[in-house]
Amino acid sequence: MTTSFETVDVLREHNQRLKAAYEKDRLRKRLFVILLVPVVGALVGSAVAFGSADISFWDTYGVVFRRVFQGDGVDALGNAGIIVWRLRLPRVILGLVAGVALGSSGAVMQVVLRNPLADPYMLGISSAASFGASLAIVMGVGVLGGSYLVIGNAFLFSLLSAGLILMLSSRNGTSPEKMLLTGLALLFFFQAMTTITQYFGDSDAVRAAVFWAVGDLGRANWTTVAISAGVVAVGTGLLVWKSGDLNVMNTGDESAQSMGINVSRTRVFTMVVCTVMVACIVSFTGTIGFVGLVAPHLVRMIVGPDNRILVPASGLIGAVLLVLADTVARTVVSPVILPVGAVTAFLGVPLFVYLIMRRKGGLA
Amino acid sequence: MNISARDVRFAYSEREVLKGVTLEVGPNKIVCIAGPNGSGKSTLIKCLEGLLLPSSGSVFLDEIDLASIGPREIARRIGYVPQSTTQLFSMSVFDTVLMGRKPHYRFRCSDRDIDIVADVLQLMDLGGLAMDEFNQLSGGQQQRVLIARALAQQPELLLLDEPTSALDIAHQLEVMDILGELVQSTSLGVIMVVHDLNLASRYADRIVLLKDGSIFASGAPHETLTAENIASVYGVEVHLSHHDGFVSVTPFRRMRETSSERRVVEA
């Protein structure tokens, strides 16, 4: 388009400046994610040292050190050993894993369902899990001792709900609106079923079922940590892998298809990954709300909507929020441990509202 | 690359919008599609892009049936500029244009992709907006970003759906000049929907007039843009004049009833 040599030079200089500005911006965003990793590490590390039992910092890390590096058995480590190794550490790590799962899948759900209000429970996962658990706990479909039956029930019912939604909404072409509305419908359906189940149950069982539904990390042990960590590692990896495609889907279905994305396949694939991941977490922890909604928005306010950054960063911020909230839940009215599902909202809501108020214009 | 639509029909549920359109466009040509609202212009473009599957008939890229290849393959060869898009979460202009490179790389973009985007941004007069958020731009600026994204795609064929509707006259001419130059210097073919008949007359090698889902007339601007054709297609009486060898259309009066008389000019 240019004819004279001066204009070519000017253009080249502009180009260099443009590229430099873009690279700088990209570096800043990457740095944010990279710096989050040690923050999460430090947080998890220090969260272990807090709790209602009076164990000093040194004793806490002594236990971890002796268990990990010297291979001492837990029983040889005494009371502190049991508390730190059997109770606190799995609890904190499950918090980390659940935070990553909720944060990253929340980010993905919002883009895939084209709705800034979407969260990981949008496909009726939490209410279906609650119903499954209530069925096991209240109707006594084998509750005693078999804590895995409750978990299994919760997991199966949440998969059932999500599967039903994907199946129903894919008739005559999937659309995000259809998915959202079927999801909402099933949510009410399962809530009603839970209410009816609990209506006929005896009060202790109902109490147990209600407590089950409120998110809590207290049921963590090394087996649940290992299972969920495996599932979440694979799941988050898959979501990050698809995050470039999600960027394009952010501009609309037609636009994304014209950029070469198989939109419906990507939508179903990412939903299935999110569902399996979140169903797994929900069955171990119950419904921990808010993290999956807030973490992605917090990250977007800081580094913008690029999903290649957003998905991993939301996972890490989700972990920060959840581990922090759980530490508060364990210590604030110690020795009573509050359910973390309630505390996340207590801590997160003021922060979130403040950030929304401060921001000019829309959220999106 | 040649693209050809062969007797393409398309219906949204009951209503048939395209009633057998046959059209062939080769490289180095700008073809403008014009016609009244609801005549099937956008639907035709979407069928050519593979966004909509014709209910009968097919679209061929050279001799490959469009329905037999995936969106990624299509995206490498055909660029598409929609009328507008809304981004759920607003991205930067640079990132939006970089999406155009998506069909060409697997996992991460290369330095060359970034170079191409920087070049295109300069070309489209968007250098100063590169780091701005897409959703906060004006309609015309957004339109230029979408055109830039399609240019970054470096397709063999470019489909544009009213790409200049929100542009000021300076940018209208600039965009058309850029397209014209690309069509001359590369083997790009362009098919665009336009409402501005004067713009079409000035830049098109061929104008296709659509009416009620069929091609009413197709040919060089001076052949298609006749007072009779425009009266039949739009129901508008116009004055035609000639400037620098181009037909210039001045709408004059809306006619009460539209003539159903067909005048087809051979291309």
Q: What is the pLDDT along chain B (267 residues), one digit of tens a residue?
A: 899 999 999 998 888 999 999 999 999 999 999 999 999 999 999 999 999 999 999 999 998 999 999 999 999 999 999 988 888 899 999 999 999 999 998 778 888 999 999 999 998 989 899 999 999 999 999 999 999 999 999 999 999 999 988 899 999 999 999 999 999 999 899 999 999 999 999 999 999 999 999 999 999 999 999 999 999 999 999 999 988 889 999 998 888 654 444 444 443
Asked whether residue A142 carries a pLDDT value surpassing 60, the answer given is: no
On chain A, the residues whose CB falls within 8 A of the CB of B87 are 250-252, 305, 364
**Å from A29 to nearest chain B CA?**
13
pLDDT at residue B214, as a whole number: 94
Identify which has the larger pLDDT, A85 or B101.
Answer: B101
A182-212 confidence digits (pLDDT tens)? 888 999 999 999 999 888 888 888 888 888 8
pLDDT at residue A349, as a whole number: 82
CATH 3.30.499.10 fits A37-357, yes or no: no
pLDDT at residue A7, as a whole number: 66
Question: What is the domain partition of chain A in residue ranges?
Answer: 37-357
Lowest mean pLDDT among A73-87, A90-104, B64-78, B103-117: A73-87
pLDDT at residue A360, as a whole number: 63
pLDDT at residue A262, as a whole number: 92
Strands B189-193 and B30-34: parallel
Lowest mean pLDDT among A124-128, A257-261, A267-271: A124-128
Residue environment code for A172-181, b if the CB has 16+ CB neighbours within 10 A, otherwise e: eebbbebbbe
CATH 3.40.47.40 fits B3-266, yes or no: no
Contact B109/A at CB under 8 A: no
Helices (H) and strands (E) in chain B, counts: 9, 12
- Of B46, B96, B114, Cβ closest to residue A22: B114
User: How many CB atoms within 10 Å of residue B8?
Assistant: 25
Q: What is the mean pLDDT of residues A57-73?
A: 78
User: Residue A6 — very low, low, confident or very high, per pLDDT cuts 50/70/90?
Assistant: low
Contact B114/A at CB under 8 A: yes
User: How many CB atoms within 10 Å of residue A320?
Assistant: 22
B 177-206 near A (Cβ less than 8 A): 178, 181
Contact B128/A at CB under 8 A: no
Instruction: Please indicate whether, in this complex, the C-beta atoms of B94 and A305 are within 8 angstroms of each other.
Output: no
Complex ipTM value: 0.86
Q: What is the mean pLDDT of residues A241-268?
A: 92
- Of A250, A255, A259, Cβ closest to residue B89: A250
Which of these, A21, A29, A25, lies nearest to A314 by C-alpha position?
A29
Question: CA B153 to CA B148: how far, in whole Å?
Answer: 9
User: Residue A2 — very low, low, confident or very high, per pLDDT cuts 50/70/90?
Assistant: very low
B 8-37 near A (Cβ less than 8 A): none
Helices (H), chain A: 5-47, 57-69, 78-81, 89-112, 125-138, 147-169, 176-199, 203-213, 222-249, 253-258, 263-285, 291-303, 307-331, 340-358
Question: CA A95 to CA A93: how far, in whole Å?
Answer: 5
On chain B, the residues whose CB falls within 8 A of the CB of A258 are 49, 51, 71, 74-75, 78-80, 82
- DSSP conformation class of A87: I
pLDDT at residue B56, as a whole number: 92
